[in-house]
A and B are shown apart, each in its own frame.
Chain A
Amino acid sequence: MVKTNSSTVERARLTQLLIAKSVIEALFVALVAVGFYYTTFSPHYRGWSDVADAKQVAGWALNETAAGEPVEVQVYIDGRFAGDALANRPRPDVLKAGRSTTEFCGFQFETPPLAAGEHEARVYVVHGSFGGTRRTLQQIGFPLRFSITAEDARAIR
């Protein structure tokens, strides 16, 4: 009888231990994941892709915590790297709209020669994280779809 009680107590204590460990572990992993997301995809980067067509891909981007320092942006068309630049072109409209504390936050890329048809442009802010050991491409705005006509394609060539 004593043995049965002892075994039941042991079982209960082991079960409690397993549950407690699982809860602590789940909370820890959740915290690590949130920390990773916050560090890697910082909420301080803002911007928008305004235009994508046969001639250009343009928009604005900035780091709210360092508005005076232009951020690096990269454009990918159909998933392929198409250009890299600093977002430091004047955009008085963004300043006027209160979205930025500086007007020098615009970017503009010349659209590379593309075949006629449907295409998609995505713009990313590039920034370092984890003490500069990792570089993150953080998408700004939404992907922009645009068409290149046969005429456009010929003109670009």
Chain B
Amino acid sequence: MRQLAFWEIVSLASTALIAVWAVLALATTRWLLIVPVALAFSFIILSHRIRRETARELGWRTDNFWEAMRLLALPMLAAALLMALIGWFMGSLRVAMPEKRTALLWLPFAGMAWGLTQQYVLQAFFNRRAQMVWGKGWISVLVVAFIFALIHLPNWWLALATLAGGIIWAATYQRAPNLLALGLSHGIMTWVLISTVPQSALQSLRVGFKYFG
């Protein structure tokens, strides 16, 4: 089962890379992205069912929310301060706000939902499979972070940020598996990132082939 967990990691990482490099580059319409996304989520859910993983085991729970938030607080604060310093030195410090005021009502929720979705895939699938192969600890944490960063290439700023974020989130998940806390942290840190790092460096958070145009 360890070997299979390794191939599960390879398979899902391939799907993500196919989506951002092949589909975005070659497909006549972006709607075709639905295919790899649906395939990936079907695969994840079926894998959970075959391995008999419960929602609680995956991190869909509330009892350890504050424990996870406590673990995240210090690294989040340090990362936010570092990004604020970068923004201050580069003159790109601002409060990122949507152009339309009405977006203020739903954009924070959309940001959290997007963060939660990414954390679910990253932790409940990649992290758990990595732990099956390499056990708890730095190796599995680094594997998760490297996969997360790899998907964000060739956007180097974003790859660097996701590598750092990936380490913090994966290490937290191994100690207190709570997806809600991680999703919240992801949403907040994304907002801090776009409020500090220059837009020219972030390239509107574009990744894969889309990064080029």
Contacts and interface: CB of A to CB of B under 8 A. Distances in A.
A142 interface: no
Interface string A18-31: 10011011001100
Given A7-B1, A11-B4, A14-B8, A32 B51 contact: no
A29 B18 contact: yes
A36 interface: yes
B1 A39 contact: no
Contact of A32 (B8, B23, B50): B23
B12 to A, nearest CB: 9
A47 B28 CA distance: 26
A33 interface: yes
Nearest to A37: B26
Contact of A22 (B11, B23, B50): B11
Contacts, number: 53
A40 B190 CA distance: 36
A14 B39 CA distance: 15
A28 B11 CA distance: 15
Contacts of A13: 50
Contacts of B15: 21, 25
- Interface size range of chain B in the complex: 20 to 34
Nearest to A15: B4
B39 A10 contact: no
A46 to B, nearest CB: 23
Given A35-B26, A35-B27, A36-B28, A10 B51 contact: yes
A7 B46 CA distance: 16
Given A17-B43, A36-B26, A28 B36 contact: yes
B32 interface: yes
B32 to A, nearest CB: 7
Contacts of A7: 1
B62 interface: no
B22 interface: yes
Contacts of A11: 1, 4
Contacts of B43: 17, 21
Nearest to A39: B28
A136 B50 CA distance: 47
A126 B165 CA distance: 45
Contacts of B36: 25, 28
A130 B51 CA distance: 42
A32 B4 contact: no
Contact of A33 (B4, B26, B50, B51): B26
Given A10-B1, A10-B50, A17-B43, A32 B7 contact: no
Interface of B: 1, 4, 7-8, 11, 14-15, 18, 22-23, 26-28, 32, 35-36, 39, 43, 46-47, 50-51
11 contacts: A10-B51, A14-B1, A14-B51, A17-B46, A18-B7, A18-B8, A21-B39, A32-B26, A35-B26, A35-B27, A36-B26
Given A10-B50, A13-B50, 12 more contacts: A14-B4, A14-B47, A17-B43, A17-B47, A21-B43, A25-B14, A25-B15, A28-B39, A32-B22, A33-B26, A36-B27, A36-B28
